[in-house]
Structure 1
Amino acid sequence: MKIAILMGGPSTERDVSLRTGQAVALACRELGHDTVELSFRNNYQKFLQELRLADIVFNGLHGTVGEDGIIQAWMDKNNILYTGSGALSSALCMNKDKSKNVARNLGLLTPDWEIIHGIDDVISFHTPLVIKPNNQGSTVGLSIVRNIGDKAAAIDEAMKYSDNIIVEKYIPGREITLAILGEKVLPIVEIRSSHELYD
């Protein structure tokens, strides 16, 4: 099978994406697949021919362009088969406020939250809090605020990456994740990070 691996991209998560892409490329080669690594910073359209020649594209991109529905919509438009979620679900999931609303409407528990747009906005929750950009991952711009005196610095940090800041009640506990492959739910995995922050 010929697999094209997209990696890099313009987001703040570029380095994470490059590591993802290289690890996937190595695994695919070890399994005997014909693999091509396509790394870019801004112009993914230049790879249109290579992507069309692949049997499937592994989307190893993180953050803006790669996870927010932009590249998914472009590949859909160009009839390119790729891994991961489609354009609409990607756009929805990258927006933490919208995805939390969907979860809550389905009866799933999620920490209380609110959206703020600047340092002067009132936060109705008491510490501890999680303050982060509404549309980032990999702990980019994320702070756990245990002391209200640290709130302004946390908001400033998050605003480096977005004008929409999500503030959540901090819930201590284990970090659990699971993957879905097609219609199959894979086993639950506990994430144990060597750092305090893992998003």
Structure 2
Amino acid sequence: MPTLRVLHLAGSRVSSFYYNLSIIYAKEVVQPVGVSSYYAVVNPDGFWQLGTSLDSLSDKMSLQDMIPRLPQIDVVVPYMFCFPGMTSFRAFFEDLLGIPVVGSASHCTALATNKAHTRNVVSASGVRVAKAQQLRQGDTLTMKPPFIVKPTSEDNSLGVTLVWDESQIAEALRVGFELDNTLLVEDYIPGRELRVG
């Protein structure tokens, strides 16, 4: 049986937070029999490294220098949680290089990483959603607490703030706008949150 050649895609050019989170997940990779693993890691400075393990990565190089150095790959397994990692990099490997990527297609992850767009699709399909307002810098907030402020395109609960009273609004908006130029403010509904993947 031929060996499956897997490229583990990790790191982030967005922030150290997303870079470190990605590396934590990539370190947990189990190497099954019949698989040859390779790693491509993007750093917060935008440069890439290649290797057969996270402990044996090359010197940093540009993306255009990395591509010709990629070995023959059968499939890409991504461990990226930043917006470009879940959208652009997936599309680059799958759509431009023609290498299958495990998981949802890039256009699906692009929709799913935008909370406002996802909410509109889900609502249009008949699923009840909390009352909400989308905000950009300078917009007037019309909702009253309690509500949750969420950066529209962040992940891993970054910038999410539960606002109980009006004294917390300014800080919640400041934190959210530091991460994104659009926020989603949703009525707080007490209950359990489920993550489905």
The alignment of Structure 1 onto Structure 2 pairs a total of residues equal to 174
Q: 2:179 aligns with which of 154, 158, 161?
A: 161
Indicate the residue corresponding to 2:192 in structure 1: 174
1:92-111 to 2 correspondences below 5 Å: 92-111=111-130
Relative to structure 2, which stretch is displaced further, 71-80 or 44-53? 44-53
Aligned 8 A contact 1:21 1:37 in 2: no
Indicate yes or no: 2:72 matched with 1:53: yes
How well do the aligned residues superpose, as a CA RMSD in angstroms?
Answer: 1.9
Q: Deviations over 1:69-90 (max 9, x none)?
A: 2112212111111112212112
Q: AA paired with 1:19?
A: I
Unaligned ranges ≥5, structure 1: 180-199
Instruction: Give the partner amino acid of 2:187.
Output: K
8 Å CA contact 1:51–1:80 kept in 2: the answer is no
* Cα gap change, 1:31 to 1:144, in 2 (>3 Å): farther
For residue 11 of structure 1, report the CA deviation from its aligned partner.
2.5
SS at match of 1:155: helix
Distance 1:108 1:48, change over 3 A: farther
Within a 5 Å distance, the mapping from 1:26-175 to structure 2 comes to 27=30, 29-30=31-32, 33-41=35-43, 42-43=46-47, 45=63, 46-49=65-68, 53-67=72-86, 69-75=87-93, 76-118=95-137, 120-175=138-193
Q: Could you report, residue by residue, the CA deviation over 1:125-154 in whole angstroms, capped at 9, with x for unpaired residues?
A: 221111121100011111111121111001
Conservation of the 8 A alpha-carbon contact between 1:111 and 1:169: yes
Secondary structure of the structure 1 residue equivalent to 2:194: strand
Distance 1:113 1:4, change over 3 A: same
Relative to structure 1, the CA distance from residue 51 to residue 94 in structure 2 (aligned partners, 3 Å threshold; closer, same or farther) is farther
Q: Tell me which of 20, 24, 29 is aligned to 1:15.
A: 20
The 1-side partners of 2:189 and 2:67 are apart by 44
Larger Rg: 2
How far residue 30 of structure 1 moved from its aligned partner, in angstroms, is 4.6
Equivalent-residue separation in structure 1 for 2:125 and 2:192 (angstroms): 22
- Which residue identity does 1:21 align to in structure 2? A
TM-score by length of 2: 0.80
